A = this chain, B = another copy of it.
Amino acid sequence: MIDLPRTVDFDGRKVILVDQRKLPEDLVFFECEDVECVAFAIKNMVVRGAPAIGATAAFGLALVASKFEGGRDELLKELRRAAELLRSTRPTAYNLFWAINRVLEGAKGSSPDEIREKIIGEARRIAEEDVENNKMIGELGYRLIRDGYRVMTICNAGSLATVWYGTATAPMYRAYEEGIKFEVVALETRPVLQGARITAFELSRAGIPVKLIVDGAAGYAMSELGVDLVITGADRVLRDGTTYNKIGTYSLSILAKEHGVPFYVAAPTSTFDLNSGPEDVKIEMRDPKEVAFIGGRRIAPEGVDVINPAFDRTPPSNITGIITEKGIVERPLDEGIRGLFSRSRGA
């Protein structure tokens, strides 16, 4: 089965990340001994994927706490400074803010040792829960995949986008364990090519048949090959189901609608931002060089303007359902999401 190390880990003195810039050629680790390094790793996509970013930021705070020598107030000040640095790395993925807030809220106590222990404990719980949530997404979602299906996905919402096991890939891994025969069509996902470099890599390693296509071939694949199901991840889900995810997801949702292909988002509830509207969400614009250069080679003329949004916004009307660890949200998504969160608050 899924033959991958944890994407994000913490050994008490170092945050240890799979260096995703080196995939698929090399599976190597990137180690951070301070929070500046952790911020660099998030910003420069050493680690990426909303849940993985959340856990990494939590461990970044744990790192600050574990190394800190000084008084209680200084520690809290240091943690706030670190949190601000981590929040500034990437603006769209909600799990980043969720995990930082959760760790800071838990940072209570009368002594530095007590606070340190709570912070490290909370960061470890965030990472553990991520794996558990993904397993549950797999358990709830795998029945959507049937024998003979061709399942399409974009970017990487896989084990390498989470602490382990993945969100969009969780139903795939679970279906594979159940012996269901299906294949995955992975969009390569320009500009950073996470589909080619990471999704194709991890699914192949797990033994799941995968076919790689360029992003422009999604419509072709639906009309000429046939696609039965789309599952994507999410970087942020709003209370009405509006989903922010990797650039190209919105286009893919329109193609799915046109071809009558069910379009599911897989995301833990930590990706849900119930307090924002679209006007509050900033879509990260990344460096034009990500588009204009590939592997150090210039592919666009010097001086050309590039628009390089990292994410786009898919409206609820294009989404069939959202697979969470607490249940699959069906249409109407706003009601389903309300139910999901009121149930969990009540429980």
- Which of A's residues lie within 8 Å of B, judged by CB? 24-25, 154, 185, 187-191, 193, 196-197, 200-201, 204, 209-221, 223-225, 246-248, 250-252, 254-255, 258, 283, 291-292, 294-309, 312-313
Q: Which residues of B contact A258 (CB under 8 A)?
A: 254, 258
**Minimum-distance CB pairs A-B, first 9:** A216-B248, A219-B251, A295-B297, A24-B301, A190-B214, A220-B312, A196-B300, A219-B250, A215-B216
Considering the chains assembled together, what is the distance between the CA atoms of A306 and B306 in angstroms?
28
Residue in chain B with minimal CB distance to A250: B219
Q: Give the oligomeric copy count.
A: 2
- Assess the B212–A291 pair: CB atoms within 8 A: yes
Task: Report Cα–Cα, A223/B221, bound state, in Å.
Answer: 23
Select from chain B the residue with minimum beta-carbon distance to A251: B219
Q: A216 and B200: CB pair below 8 A?
A: no
Q: CB < 8 Å: which of B25, B255, B292, B294 contacts A212?
A: B292
Given contacts A219-B250, A298-B24, contact A304 B214 (CB under 8 A): no
Provide the bound-state CA to CA distance between A304 and B211, in Å. Answer: 7
Least CB separation from A306: chain B residue: B212
Is the Cβ of B247 less than 8 Å from the Cβ of A200? Answer: no
Pair A301/B216 contact, Cβ less than 8 Å: no
Min CB distance, A28 to chain B, in Å? 15
**Main SS class of interface, A:** mixed
Among B204, B217, B296, B303, point to the contact of A247 (Cβ < 8 A): B217
Q: How far is the CB of A198 from chain B (nearest CB, A)?
A: 9
Find chain B residues with CB under 8 A from A294 CB: 294-295, 297
User: Do A305 and B212 touch (CB < 8 A)?
Assistant: yes
Residues of B within 8 A of A24 (CB): 298-302
Q: A291-B196, A294-B295, A298-B25 are in contact. Are A307 and B251 (CB under 8 A)?
A: no
Taking a contact as CB atoms under 8 Å apart, the answer to whether B255 and A213 are in contact is no
Across the interface, which residues of B come within 8 angstroms of A213, CB to CB?
291, 306-308
Q: Decide if B251 touches A204 in the complex (CB within 8 Å).
A: no
Shortest Cβ gap from A119 to chain B (Å): 38
Please give, as numbers and ranges, the residues of chain B lying within 8 Å of A154 by CB-CB distance: 216
Contacts of A250 in B (CB 8 A): 219-220, 223
User: Are A220 and B309 closer than 8 Å at their CB atoms?
Assistant: yes
The chain B residue sitting closest to A223, CB to CB, is B250
Within 8 Å CB of A216, what residues of B? 154, 187, 189-190, 215, 246-248, 251-252
A217 touches B307 (CB 8 A): yes
Q: Which residues of B contact A283 (CB under 8 A)?
A: 224
Cα separation A210 to B296 with both chains bound (whole Å): 23
For A188, what are the chain B residues with a Cβ–Cβ distance below 8 Å?
Answer: 190, 291, 299-300
Bound: A299/B214 CA distance, A: 12
Say whether, besides A24-B298, A254-B255, A298-B25, A304 and B217 are in contact (CB < 8 Å): no
Cβ–Cβ contact A217 & B25, under 8 A = no
Q: Which one of A154, A220, A225, A301 has the greatest number of beta carbons of chain B within 10 Å?
A: A301
